[in-house]
Structure 1
């Protein structure tokens, strides 16, 4: 159904992402594609979908794949019908029903007389019955956008479905619908996700690394068990190689000491024997060459073992922890930052909430903002930050510094390199080496500094955003995170949790990941 043979991909800047990738997905098979952020999971899906072209290798599919991307900003100016590529058929059907039975309309409809009914049933399954297909995508919440594209699977009935983080923006009810849908689907499915419940549904796991793909014949829980065994073996290999390196260095040192003693003893004998100077110099040169050759042999052996050890250590799973190492907020704990009184907001004259909102946010709190998809969480955030003003009621904001990290990481300028982006936040004039130390701490090594931000994965952008906050040094009084775990792999979710727990300011978090909310010590909830 889907075959990748020796596939490689170069970024536009000629930076190699991966090489010699091989993957076979059989008809009706359901598989998860996992790997660390930045390894190329989303790129691999785009290659399989035909959105990108490989730099080398061959990609074959039996039928056109249906691809659901991770982000939807490129569809914002389209209507729902246009984004789902059903607008022409719907228009043709309506024209025919109105009596305009032309060859062109019949060809466009292509005997798909049930298109309206399938749309209605698909939207109803995903709890989107109230949506108008002529609505602009930009008017929808993140969860609604995801559901719209998921609904299109039932509309188009593709044989091959490629899903990139489909549960990211879904609320709890939406995730349950997704799990049921994937379990019941007859389509061949390849899914990229960090949602552990979702990852346990497929019967195969493909782990993508820069060196290739490893196949695990089981779900994610099986993969974890196998990885633990491999990690344990890797730790044993590291310990064994460390022991071999110590032994090689001891042998090197002992051999050189022995050679030096032999050379010194030989020199004394030669001097006592009264050899001519020219002969002594010749013997001395021979001894030095012998010692140098011996040094070279041992140095090569030690160097080889050291390099092997370095490669093994790079494979170890623990990449260390990142910290939000900036100064604490100047605001005293308990200072009122936001006071909302009978606040309402309207879209096209329609009020967003059934009841007006009244609440306070005080300094030092950790708050979760919850609600179903479309309940107005993003709108409320924009009201809190001052990007929008309420239609009715009052919203008072104290003089404080707030930062909003949205789902699209709009604070990252895709035109800049990673280092240039970091320098944009260098308001305290840190020295160049200090900025690079911070980048290294957040896992951006010197090989990454000149990469353009547009090539970064969602998880890498989140890490870079956190790094930029530490470079800015002074903590924001209020930090707002909109679905911060959406584009992170499991390892980076743990790193993010550790980083947030080092932040002492006020935290407002939108997340459907209850485990994550518990880990960052959320104290209360604003429910929409």
Structure 2
């Protein structure tokens, strides 16, 4: 029976920061969702299982074959789909064989069905391309689909999927959900996609306290976790009350003892008590004081142990707070206008044709469409990254943009230095306060951006974009939830709910769009040919 076992695993980042400490995990032939806050070590667990990382302590045992879908695919200029499948050498052999340049021993290893099987695997994920296609020519969503096809190609015993729905359009998300619904081998899925997690057989939550397994899907886990957390919080409140009561009683006893001692001292000072009786009383008082102190110390120690035990059952979680000052954007103010715009990186093959579109006041508009329809191109056009081939683009208010790769941040600088660069008018106290609202407190603000996890980097980008003294009147967000954990997504939803400016959003997350009040959609590839 295929299985994966991690025994007392510990791992630390290159800077020495401990990520996993003595974690035990076991996976069988079921679909398991691996959840937890950003930076807690979810992707690290997958890399340890895959052998891409080695633990500092503990052991990893894998009984079976693995198919791995990594969180990001950053291809080299000449890297092809065949490289992604790991079959470039096998395909090169077939070409030599077809050219009559292969030896007899090589021909014995030739797999003449390989190219057709790869093409078929790609077609199953909606890609009609061949193994020689360069990965750099594909969109992010198309590369994710290709990676998924490569992961399942050899029918592994376990799928390791790291954020498999990131960068995918609606049809791509449905494809991943359908694939896992029919998967009969093991799967470990790191995801914040609540719809996908509802298709799991079990949920493993990774926290700073370790790992806990919950049978059932995300909804079952979420309901059970809320009940368990409520009980743990009640236990903590009781322990805190008991500890406070012990401290209060000890203080009262000490005060009473001090009053008695003071009265005895006054009596002795009057000189009307025999010396032998005075000595006996002093000895008794000292013995009583010592006994009482020991009892009080023991009671305090027991109460503190009970309190620490109660606290250990609760991970101390700090909520992400996104509180934004008002922008004062009036309802009739034109924010953005595109007039018969044609645009694209290749003038001979424009992605956007004759698009006219206007935003007024604090509108909330989502740019939607399948992968490759030009959503990111449109954002690049609006922010001035490319010029239109024809037509005009006018942005009439100040704006901030946060793209999928958080390109506004300098990876070689600290979070604090990036914030100062992007918000030059903010005081040092304002910088620190803004970063603290996004959970970058004290030394955490000094972390180098290039060392952050994907979710931490996006959170840093959000802090630098939204945390300044005056938020922009227009926010342009390109897949802002791709790398955030679920708690942070919910906090971002709450923050954007109170934002009074305009929002232009690229997203495939229907739950997120509904929760932030998207009122209009700009569809770049609608069935009827109408864009709005």
TM-score, normalization: structure 1?
0.88
Distance 1:354 1:345, change over 3 A: closer
Deviations 1:59-114 (A, max 9, x none): 1223452221212235566233333323332232233223333358547xx33222
**C-alpha distance in 2, partners of 1:395/1:312?**
62
- Answering whether residue 521 of structure 2 is matched by residue 522 of structure 1, we say no
Please give the per-residue CA displacement for 1:90-145, whole angstroms capped at 9, x wherever unaligned.
232233223333358547xx33222111122112111111x354443333222212
**Root mean square deviation, CA, Å:** 3.2
Pair 1:508-2:504 in alignment: yes
Partner Cα separation in structure 2 for residue 154 and residue 285 of structure 1: 82
Which residue of structure 2 lines up, in the alignment, with residue 99 of structure 1? 100
Q: Contact 1:367–1:507 at 8 Å: present in 2 too? A: yes
**Are residues 1:479 and 2:475 paired?**
yes
SS at match of 2:268: helix
Aligned to 1:201: 199
Q: Is the 8 A contact 1:323 1:502 kept in 2?
A: no
Partner of 2:9: 7
Task: Name the counterpart of 1:165.
Answer: 163
Flag structure 1 segments of 5+ consecutive residues without an equivalent.
none
* CA distance 1:188–1:222, shift in 2 (3 Å): same
Aligned CA distance change for structure 1 residues 406 and 139 (closer, same or farther; 3 Å): farther
1: distance between equivalents of 2:509 and 2:56? 37
Equivalence for 1:398: 395
Match of 2:528 in 1: none
Q: Distance in 2 between matches of 1:281 and 1:418?
A: 68
SS in 2 for 1:230: helix
The answer (yes or no) to whether the contact 1:235–1:316 under 8 Å persists in 2 is no
Structure 2 residue aligned with 1:120 = 119
Query: CA offsets, 1:328-368, max 9 Å, x none?
Result: 26x54433333223322345566354853221233422111
Question: Structure 1 residue 217 and structure 2 residue 219: aligned?
Answer: no
8 Å Cα contact 2:121-2:149 kept in structure 1: yes
- 5+ residue gaps, structure 2: 525-532
Aligned to 1:456: 452
Name the residue aligned to 2:266: 268
Partners in 2 of 1:334 and 1:270 — Cα distance? 88
Partner residue in 2 for 1:237: 235
1:431 matched to 2:431:
no
Partner secondary structure for residue 121 of structure 2: helix
Pick which of 515-524 and 60-69 moved more: 60-69
CA contact (8 A) 1:425 1:471 kept: no
Q: Give the aligned length.
A: 520
How far apart are the structure 2 equivalents of 1:290 and 1:426?
A: 64
Task: Deviation per CA, 1:8-59: give whole Å up to 9, x if none.
Answer: 1111011111111122222x33211111111110111111112222222211
Alpha-carbon distance between aligned partners in 1 of 2:78 and 2:67, rounded to the nearest angstrom: 21
SS of residue matched to 1:416: coil
Q: Which residue of 2 aligns with 1:351?
A: 349
**Change in 2 beyond 3 A, CA 1:478/1:354:** closer
Please, which moves more after superposition, 264-273 or 80-89?
80-89
CA shift for structure 1 position 297: 6.4
Matched, 1:465 2:461: yes
Inter-partner Cα distance in structure 1 for 2:345 and 2:423: 38
Aligned partners of 2:95 and 2:431: how far apart in 1? 60
Shift of 1:308: 5.8
Show the counterpart of 1:174. 172
1-structure distance, mates of 2:79, 2:218: 37
Q: C-alpha distance in 2, partners of 1:155/1:348?
A: 34
The structure 1 residue matched to 2:25, chosen from 7, 20, 23, is: 23
Q: Which moved more, 1:13-22 or 1:244-253?
A: 244-253
The equivalent residue for 1:52 is: 53
What is the aligned partner in structure 2 of residue 141 from structure 1? Answer: 139
Q: Which residue of 2 aligns with 1:412?
A: 409
Is the CA contact 2:426–2:469 (under 8 Å) kept in the aligned structure 1?
no
Greater CA drift, 405-414 or 371-380: 405-414
Name the structure 2 match of 1:67.
Answer: 68
The match for 2:529 is none
**Alignment counterpart, residue 368 of structure 1, candidates 362, 366, 369:** 366
Q: In 2, distance between residues paired with 1:304 and 1:421?
A: 47
| Equivalent position of 1:34 in the other structure | 35
**Greater Cα shift, 411-420 or 144-153:** 411-420
Q: 1:518 to 1:471 in 2, by over 3 A?
A: closer
Aligned to 2:380: 382
Report the CA distance shift for 1:457/1:92 in structure 2 as closer, same or farther (over 3 A).
same
Under a length normalisation based on structure 2, what TM-score does the superposition of the two structures give? 0.88
Q: Summarize the Cα distance change of 1:254–1:228 in structure 2 as closer, same or farther, 3 Å threshold.
A: same
1:445 maps to 441
| Equivalent pair of 1:438/1:471 in contact (CA under 8 Å) | yes
Question: 2:85 maps to what in 1?
Answer: 84
Q: Is the 8 A contact 2:426 2:468 kept in 1?
A: no
- CA drift of 1:442 comes to 1.9
Q: 1:268 to 1:228 in 2, by over 3 A?
A: same
- Secondary structure of the residue that 1:486 maps to in structure 2? coil
